[in-house]
A and B are shown apart, each in its own frame.
Chain A
């Protein structure tokens, strides 16, 4: 189970908002994490605490394929991202970096900033303890749970590479 306090964002949060293109030259973790959400909310890195959860509207992570967007959120130790829907490349990058992501249409209208929520990736259950409501998203496929549980795609594929 993942539980934490919510930071809320809107629709179509794009990768330039999550990780501005001017920092694309950086892959060093300590530099990447400094710019998390900088294009949308420069205060985010100062105010977000490990385990906090991001909740947003449709198409979270749209725009470029840059993996630093998912990396930055993971490096900021955000527990999960919950959204009405995800951009597909961001979704892959998140899974590959062991950042739990779960989609449920309309969820962003239900959960408010500051709410304490809990997520079960396996069953798809999302519980908002602040307002005492719960919802069911599509359970995460086993293949994706395996990648998340192993700590990401590198760990999953390591050893499966032929030489």
Chain B
């Protein structure tokens, strides 16, 4: 039998011809990504390991993004620890505040993610790197410190599940809706420990940004990694950003999948995940009409250029509802600059939206957009756990950028397919 993408990547990095699901292997790591929570977090384990420097085979990329610019003194201290660690270790790719943005977006847009690599980070949404055909996976600060110091880490070879998405997505139905639909189908636990390969006509028709959204959101299904075979679009994107782009590692035609799951998405409606689980998805019609106080467009899931372009198209010449605050957080400085150049930010400001600097702020309930008790937020982010964005007595509904913007204008959860007088289907 042949190997799946993840099996091939792990075998290659472990110096083995082949690996089997369930096997524990020690594999070399290519890239370790750290942010302003992870870098302070690795200090103790890095020191306790007796490590003095980063292993030669590791490309370390440090991107402060959670609490930037510092909202508290404690956050400022953590940013200082982060900057000093980068200096002390001679880290070449350190993104000072104002130069980077949300880590996972910066990783991809700056060419730090290449096909076939193993990339680890003390941040769960490192699965995003699967959009470029890399094995990206999140782990804790101890593992990150070991990877940095030893250049390798132990991995259990996961079973691979192939998900085939057929059909064509309708108007205002996006990658986020597909991700929320899959979460609703599988729940938060059916795919834990698994690697997922996403394929099919729906994926073929998606931009790289949309695949990043899906790979990011797939983490909420509990997967170890979510990979997309790099296509011509991905390879061309990467060649513009990296000096040398390796050939993609692709699954063998006779690869052994634990399951192959096929869906037809032609009739998919926009999906909204109701409190307090990302897997609590419902067709938007079932929750339409719920009053909201906050709408959030941003995060590593949905703060990309295509999201902002769509939002601006919808908001052009319109305004945010009187009782709602719409918070827009571009995912990176590069996206922010491009959004200004294209006039998107002007549209948001004219519509009465609030635009923040790139940060994880509102999504992690850290700063720049927390919610009060009794408030309802419709959010393009990835988690609606109780208390995630502020008060434990607040309610978070997860949705696509189109649903967030339609709702911000309506003052209540709304179907984007009708915001301009269109029909639901």
Residues in A lying within 8 Å of B, measured CB to CB:
11-12, 14, 16-17, 20-22, 24-27, 39, 58-59, 62-67, 70, 85-89, 92-93, 96-97, 141, 143, 152-154, 157-163
Contact = CB atoms under 8 A, between A and B. Distances in A.
B60 to A, nearest CB: 15
Given A27-B40, A65-B138, A85-B192, A14 B385 contact: yes
Contact of A160 (B37, B121, B150): B150
Contacts of B55: 162
Contact of B188 (A12, A86, A159): A12
A22 B140 CA distance: 17
Interface stretch (B3-11, B46-54, B207-215, B404-412): B46-54
Contacts of B24: 141, 143
A65 B123 contact: yes
A76 B242 CA distance: 46
Interface of B: 24, 37, 40-41, 43-45, 48-53, 55, 66-67, 72, 74-75, 78, 121-124, 126, 138-143, 145-146, 149-150, 154, 188-189, 192-193, 220, 222, 224, 277, 364-366, 383, 385-388, 392
A143 B220 CA distance: 28
Contacts of A22: 365-366
A135 to B, nearest CB: 20
A161 B142 contact: no
Interface of B is mostly: loop
B140 A67 contact: yes
Contacts of A87: 192, 222
9 contacts: A14-B385, A16-B386, A22-B365, A27-B43, A92-B140, A93-B139, A141-B24, A153-B146, A161-B49
A132 B48 CA distance: 43
Contacts of A20: 365, 387
Q: Shortest 10 CB-CB distances between A and B: which pairs?
A: A67-B140, A59-B189, A65-B138, A93-B140, A96-B142, A65-B124, A58-B189, A16-B385, A21-B364, A25-B74
Contacts of A92: 139-140, 143
A63 B123 CA distance: 10
B188 A153 contact: no
